[in-house]
Amino acid sequence: MWERTRRGGERRSVAVRLRRARSAAVPYLFVAPVLLFLGALLIYPVVLNIIMSFQDRQLGNLISGPAKWVGTRNYDAIFHDPVFKSAVVHSVLYTVISVAIQLVIALMLALFYSRHFRGARLFRSLFLVSYAIPIVVSAQVFKWLLDGRGMVNSVLQSLHLQDQPQYWLADTRLALGAVIAVQLWLGIPFTMVNLLAGLSTIPDELHEAAAIDGANAWRRFWDITWPLLRPTAAAATILSLIFAFKNFDLIWIATKGGPGNATTTLPTLAYQTAFEQFLFGRGAAILNLIFAACFVLALGYIFSLRREERVA
């Protein structure tokens, strides 16, 4: 009799231990598929890119075959390439100018549409239509609007603001400005919807109290709205910088980096180097520099999130 109970007890404790071990493993089983997937298709590619950037990889030895190690020669070649230098300048101008103007316009729009009036809610969400449709579609439409015979020219000519049509996307002096304007159009809804979300967390009573104390709208904005909105604006700005910096689709459809190299940015240069000149090692080196820039911006984003949490 007693033997049986003891055995039963032992069995039970083994079962308990097994169950404990199993339940300790459970969280990892939930996470394992994602980690395997991202390990194979995200981490490994990033590592492979770093390796390839130190190799001489061209079409012949891309998939298999020996690749010669060339040290930092790919990076040296990039840094001595005038096209790379202009791509860096274009990328910085493109990103900074479009996001700066975008922030101002989106802020004005958010302040306007955050008030309560008939239709405000509908109008707010209509802005997001441009976010839902593919960038390729928007780029193609703007290509037509900015064409020599396009709408922008015919309007400017009917208003006698210019006598000759301008080739906005085909003129080396105008093309970068034109794609910056389109990037601006693409980025506005994202910043605006985030600022609107930030504004909705600011209680109306604060404004009412300040208004009773005699503060005008300008003062109320700088003393109440802006300090409370700043963390949201910071996070949205960093995300917009990244969004603009890595935008390949718009420039590729609108200009392919041209005319000449007038609108070549780092992403289009990387693509052309790897997939048109088939210099995969050098393309990988450019991508790593893009990666480094995005990583710095990502750290900025995570830092601003932390700050936002602390403030809130």
Partner 1 sequence: MRRLPVSFSTAVGFLIVAVYLFPIYWMVTGSIKSQDDLFASPPQLIPIHPQFSTWSQEILHKPEVLEYIRNTFIVATGTMVLALVLAAPAAYALANFHMRGKSLIMLFCLSSLMLPAIMLATPLFVIFSRVHLTNSLLGLILADTTLALPYAIVLLRPTFASIPKDLAEAAQIDGSSSFGAFVRIVLPLARPGLATVGVLSFLWGWGDLVFALTLTSDESKRVVTTGLANFFGAFATDWAGAMAFCSLAMLPPLLVFVFAQRQVIAGLTTGGTKG
Q: Which amino acid is at 226?
A: W
Q: How many of the chain's residues bind partner 1 (CB under 8 A)?
A: 99
Between 69 and 123, CB nearer to partner 1: 123
Q: Which of 178, 193, 233, 262 binds partner 1 (CB under 8 A)?
A: 193
Q: Which of 169, 183, 190, 251 binds partner 1 (CB under 8 A)?
A: 190
Applying the rule CB under 8 A, the residues between 95 and 114 that interact with partner 1 are 109, 112-113
Paired residues of 69 in beta bridges: 55
Cα-based distances in Å from 136 to 5, 139, 220, 251: 73, 5, 41, 9
10 Å CB burial of residue 204 (0-12, 13-18, 19+) is exposed
Asked if 140 contacts 253 with a C-beta cutoff of 8 angstroms, the reply is yes
Residue where the block lists tokens 């190690």: 69
Between 10 and 209, CB nearer to partner 1: 209
The candidate with the shortest Cα–Cα distance to 266, out of 240, 294, 239, 295, is 294
Residue 49 touches partner 1, criterion: CB under 8 A: yes
**φ, ψ at 286 (rounded to 5°):** -60, -45
Q: Which of 35, 59, 89, 104 binds partner 1 (CB under 8 A)?
A: 35
| Piece of the chain touching partner 1 by CB under 8 A; list 2-10, 75-83, 90-98, 123-131 | 123-131
The sign of the CA dihedral 21, 23, 29, 31 is negative
Report in angstroms how near the CB of residue 124 gets to partner 1 at its nearest: 9
Cα 244 to chain centroid, rounded: 6
Residue 48 touches partner 1, criterion: CB under 8 A: yes
Between 1 and 196, CB nearer to partner 1: 196
Asked if 192 contacts 236 with a C-beta cutoff of 8 angstroms, the reply is no
Encoded one letter per residue, x for contact with partner 1 by CB under 8 A and - for no contact, window 252-291 reads xx-------------x--xx--xx----x--xx--x--xx
Report in angstroms how near the CB of residue 7 gets to partner 1 at its nearest: 25
The CA distance from 243 to 95, in Å, is 9
Report in angstroms how near the CB of residue 281 gets to partner 1 at its nearest: 10
Applying the rule CB under 8 A, the residues between 194 and 253 that interact with partner 1 are 194, 197, 204, 207, 235, 239-240, 242-243, 245-249, 252-253
Applying the rule CB under 8 A, the residues between 148 and 177 that interact with partner 1 are 149, 151, 154-155, 157-158
The sign of the CA dihedral 202, 206, 210, 211 is positive
Q: Which amino acid is at 17?
A: R
Residue where the block lists tokens 């689709």: 249
Report in angstroms how near the CB of residue 167 gets to partner 1 at its nearest: 13
Residue 93 touches partner 1, criterion: CB under 8 A: no
The candidate with the shortest Cα–Cα distance to 278, out of 27, 56, 100, 31, is 56
Q: Which of 46, 59, 89, 209 binds partner 1 (CB under 8 A)?
A: 46
Residue 119 touches partner 1, criterion: CB under 8 A: yes
Q: Which amino acid is at 172?
A: T
Token pair in block for residue 55: 């190799």
Q: Which of 42, 59, 104, 209 binds partner 1 (CB under 8 A)?
A: 42
